[in-house]
Amino acid sequence: MEIRRVAGLDRAEAGDLTFVANAKYYGALATTRASAVLLGERTPAGVTPPATCAVLRCRDPYSTFATALGFFVHAAPPARGVDPLSAVGPGVTFGDDVSIGPFVSIGAGAAIGERTIVYPNAVIGPGARIGADCILHAHVSVRERVVVGDRVILHDGAVLGSDGFGFARQPDGTHMKIPQLADVVIENDVEIGANTTIDRPAVGETRIKAGAKIDNLVQIGHGVSIGERTLLAAQVGLSGSTVVEEDVVMAGQVGVAGHIRVGKGVIAAGKTGITKSAAPGEFLTGYPGIPNREWRKAVVIFRHLPELKKQIEELEAKVAELEEKLIECRTSTDRS
């Protein structure tokens, strides 16, 4: 059998390898046209594809699928070596087997680790240090003296080390700029999305810890620390000096106040506003973010507020009526 492509279950055709990791798709398996399917070791015996589809059993079909994807499709990095159309400052050091594309600018004294790939038009500032096996996509800005670990992926237009938003209000109402020239450190195995911005602080450091994954258009304020393996979805924004511990998950458009601590394993649903420090393991939702269970119970009532208001008004009318009747009643009792 020849496998020519890897495809999702709904689109798989003859010649495709597909996978089922989630029980809710077992039903769709019966009619797949894929030539092979990855199934978990514990997939129930009754769940089988048509006879035309081979079954490959594995511990984790989703991860195995990811591995298979890597066999079939490939990115297209610039050629090995330093493109003659790049601008490389004095004292720049390159590890072995780097690929540096055209119109890349690398400032004086920067260091690029071995096998690191830099796509066209990226800019690496003076004194920046990029580790080994990194991928910097087009239009990335790594500002001066930023430190990037190994196996880091930076997507198109990501900015590392732009000035934090720090000003001192003067007596005449104008804003004096606080120079933002301290450290930005991106640890190993971090991925940073397209057009995401990571600010540099005045003092101390902004740090993204090992294995954290950050999606597109995310704002990381100056002096923020992001914990190991934390996941930040697109358009999340973190204000300055906030500490996010490890294994946190924030869904899209979450906003986090400055100078707070978000504990290990916290989960925040989309659009949550985290306004104060959160204990480890909390699942927050809403603005301000409150425990998800509480929020769910409250929010279903929100849309019924008009009825609640009406109920209260009716109660008020009834109680007034009762009061009156009771007076009548007591009067008649007194009379009797």
Residues 189-208 that bind a copy of itself (CB under 8 A): 189, 191, 193-195, 197, 199, 202-204
User: What's the rounded Cα separation, in Å, for the pair 178 and 42?
Assistant: 59
243 in contact with a copy of itself (CB under 8 A): no
Instruction: Establish if 247 lies at the interface with a copy of itself (CB under 8 A).
Output: yes
Confirm or reject binding of residue 309 to a copy of itself (CB under 8 A).
yes
H-run or E-run covering 72:
helix 61-72
From residue 264 to residue 303, the character string flagging contacts with a copy of itself as x (rule: CB under 8 A) and all else as - is ------xx-x-x----------xxx-x---xx-xxx-xxx
Q: Is 318 in the site for a copy of itself (CB under 8 A)?
A: yes
Considering just the CA atoms, what is the radius of gyration of the chain in Å? 29
Q: How far is the CB of 46 from a copy of itself (least distance, A)?
A: 26
| Of 93, 88, 75, nearest in space to 131 by CA | 93
Q: Which of 1, 4, 8, 28 binds a copy of itself (CB under 8 A)?
A: 8
DSSP secondary structure code for residue 278 in this structure: B
Among 48, 237, 261, 277, binds a copy of itself (CB under 8 A): 237
Taking CB under 8 A as the criterion, which residues in 124-153 touch a copy of itself? 125-127, 137-139, 141, 143-145, 153
Catalytic residue among 139, 222, 259, 304: 222
Q: Name the phi and psi angles at 15, rounded to 5.
A: 95, -5
Amino acid, single-letter form, for residue 12 = A
- How many residues touch a copy of itself under the rule CB under 8 A: the total is 127
Residues 150-169 close enough to bind a copy of itself by CB under 8 A: 153, 155-157, 159, 162-163, 165, 167-168
We find the least distance from the C-beta atom of residue 76 to a copy of itself, in angstroms, to be: 4
175 is an active site residue? no
Task: Tell me phi and psi for residue 324, to 5 degrees.
Answer: -65, -50
Q: Which two tokens stand for residue 204?
A: 């101390």
Which one of 44, 87, 279, 281 is in contact with a copy of itself (CB under 8 A)? 87
What is the Cβ-side half-sphere exposure of residue 106, based on CA atoms within 13 angstroms? 27
Of 43 and 222, nearer to a copy of itself (C-beta) is: 222
Q: Of 113 and 201, which CB lies nearer to a copy of itself in the complex structure?
A: 201
Side chain identity at residue 333, one-letter code: T
Give least dist CB 103 to a copy of itself, A. Answer: 5
**Selection from 247, 223, 239 nearest residue 273 by Cα:** 239
229 sits near a copy of itself (criterion: CB under 8 A): yes
Q: What are the two backbone dihedrals, phi and then psi, of residue 241, each rounded to the nearest 5 degrees?
A: 70, 10
CA distance 299 to 238: 25
Does residue 209 touch a copy of itself according to CB under 8 A?
Answer: no
Residue 56 is a binding residue for a copy of itself (CB under 8 A):
no
Distance CA 19, CA 317 (A): 63
Q: 160 phi and psi, to 5 degrees?
A: -115, 115
β-bridge pairing 290-291 and 283-285: antiparallel
Question: Which residues carry out catalysis?
Answer: 222
